Amino acid sequence: MIELRDVHKTLGGRPILKGMSFQVPTGTTYVLMGRSGIGKSVTLKHLVGILKPDRGEVLVDGVNVPSLDSEGLKDLRRKMGYLFQNGALINWLTVAQNVSLPLEEHSRLPRAEIRERVMRTLHLVGMDHAADLFPSKISGGMRLRAGLARAIVTEPRYVLYDEPNAGLDPIIADQIHRLIVEVRDRLGVTGLVVTHSRACAFTVANRIGVIDEGRIAEEGTVPEMRASTSPLVRAFLGGGSD
Ligand X SMILES: Nc1ncnc2c1ncn2[C@@H]1O[C@H](COP(=O)(O)OP(=O)(O)O)[C@@H](O)[C@H]1O
Closest C-alpha to 161, from 121, 192, 206 = 192
Contact 195, 33 (CB under 8 A): yes
Minimal distance, residue 238 CB to Mg ion, in Å: 22
Contact track, ligand X, 16-55, x by CB under 6 A: x-----------------x-xxxxxxx-------------
Helical H segments across 188-230, by residue range: 198-204, 222-227
Q: Is 11 in the site for ligand X (CB under 6 A)?
A: yes
Q: Which is nearer to ligand X, 48 or 124 (CB)?
A: 48
Which phi-psi region, left, alpha or beta, contains residue 105 (left: φ > 0; alpha: ψ -120 to 50)? Answer: alpha
Strands (E) in the chain, as ranges, are 2-11, 14-24, 29-33, 55-60, 63-64, 80-83, 158-162, 190-194, 207-212, 215-220
The region of 9-17, 22-30, 136-144, 149-157 touching ligand X under the rule CB under 6 A is 9-17
Binding-residue pattern over the window 39 to 78 for Mg ion, x denoting contact by CB under 5 A:
-xx-------------------------------------
Q: Which residues, numbered 127-186, are part of the site for Mg ion (CB under 5 A)?
A: none
Of residues 79 and 196, the one with the C-beta less far from ligand X: 196
Name the site residues for ligand X (rule: CB under 6 A).
11-12, 16, 34, 36-42
